[in-house]
Amino acid sequence: MTFFNVEKIRKEFPILGQEVRSGVPLVYLDSTATAQKPAVVIDAMDNYYRTTNANIHRGVHYLAEKATSEYEAARLKIANFINANKPREIIYTRNTTESINLVAQSWGRSFLKQGDLIILTEMEHHSNLVPWHMLAQEKDLRLEFIPVTEDGELDQVVYDRLLDEGPKLVAFSHMSNVLGTINPAQEIVRKAKLAGAVTLIDGAQSVPHFDVSVKELGVDFLAFSAHKMVGPTGIGVLWGREELLNAMPPFLGGGDMIKKVLLRSFIPNELPYKFEAGTPAIAEAIGFGAAIDFLNSVGMDNIATHEHALVQSALIKLKTIPSLQVLGENAVNRGGVVSFTLAGIHPHDVAQILDQYGIAIRAGHHCAMPLHDKYGIPASSRASFYLYNTEAEVDHLVETLHKVTEMFA
């Protein structure tokens, strides 16, 4: 698509045409939590259940072979989307959270030992904190954190000092789900490699919104979810370097992840199947493939440009509200997320009033409690933008926030 036509794109999403109440159209500004789904994704999953429903890999009949072909075709599309070398490096999981837990429980339990250092950051989603807390408690590991500066960016000076302490793993978010900060992932990974550390990127907020290449990043693991990239819920991906995945033991035991089972032993399957136990989310994988096709048809560069324009416009217009404070406002490189507070007004009240005007935002700690603690606040309001949002919706948000402040004046 050479010309980005947002109105044409919006027509592909059935849910966006509805009214949340009589005369109040939906303004969906919560894509950081989950993105809406285009008709082609819904249709692909519906078609699977209507015409192809069968289990994969195990059957030789027509439906089983067709289902397997479509399931594996989606894996290839995903591999190409992130510029991975081989489809077998793509492991289907339920979501980003499970992908990170897989690394922690398989790679981490096998290769980390007492006293080893893991470097994380203060802006992490709980999904990239709690698995490492759990593992650290089990194996007596050491966790250290790259601070967030006043500008909403990672403190690279402190990071350099931590690297001097010989970390075994550096795990960080590519883009903050609260601040919208896009971290310099390639440089963070490069420095970690020089220090001898394995690297993991939480790509939940980056892969849906701009071009991400695992080859260019040089990373060892990348985790992301379909539901944030116009795909279905219940399916995500762990990409890992083949040599690392081969060295890792299976995460779950059961069907399809084995090559041979004896009463007293088993031999695990080859990649990627040794990490995909049991009947998987087949329809969701096929829907994921359709989502990849849709994003490619729009163009990731086009999506990134559109979101950048929206968020820059929002930041300028939000300045007209004196009591509004944007978190991480001065980050140099940021995506389509704006989290903010209104003086004297609880974020939940803000969200509820906006909802009366059809505007869907998120209020709370956004699964990033330590980051909110750093800012000295219990919660924030968050508006997030995606390929289907418009400048008119930005204006509606700002105008309604002015009304919110007037209500509490």
Q: How confident is the model at residue 307 (pLDDT cuts 50, 70, 90)?
A: very high
The answer as to CATH 3.90.1150.10 being correct for domain 6-30+299-407 is: yes
In this structure, the number of other CB atoms found within 10 A of the CB of residue 370 comes to 16
Cα–Cα separations (whole angstroms), residue 215 to 81, 86, 155, 212, 300: 12, 12, 25, 9, 17
CATH 3.90.1150.10 placement within the chain: 6-30+299-407
Catalytic residue among 54, 64, 367, 369: 367
Mean pLDDT of the chain: 96
The 10s digit of each residue's pLDDT in 315-369 is 999 999 999 999 999 998 999 999 999 999 999 999 999 999 999 999 999 999 9
How confident is the model at residue 1, as a pLDDT?
Answer: 40
| Catalytic status, residue 367 | yes
What residue spans in the chain does CATH classification 3.40.640.10 cover?
Answer: 43-296
When pLDDT is averaged across residues 194-208 and rounded to a whole number, the result is 98
The Cα–Cα gap between 102 and 87 comes to: 18
pLDDT in tens, 147-196: 999 999 999 999 999 999 999 999 999 999 999 999 999 999 999 999 99
Tell me what pLDDT residue 268 has: 86
CATH of domain 43-296: 3.40.640.10
Measure the CA–CA gap between 67 and 63, rounded to whole angstroms. Answer: 6
Sheet holding 380-384, edge to edge: 324-326, 337-342, 380-384, 362-364
Arithmetic mean of pLDDT, 225-244: 98
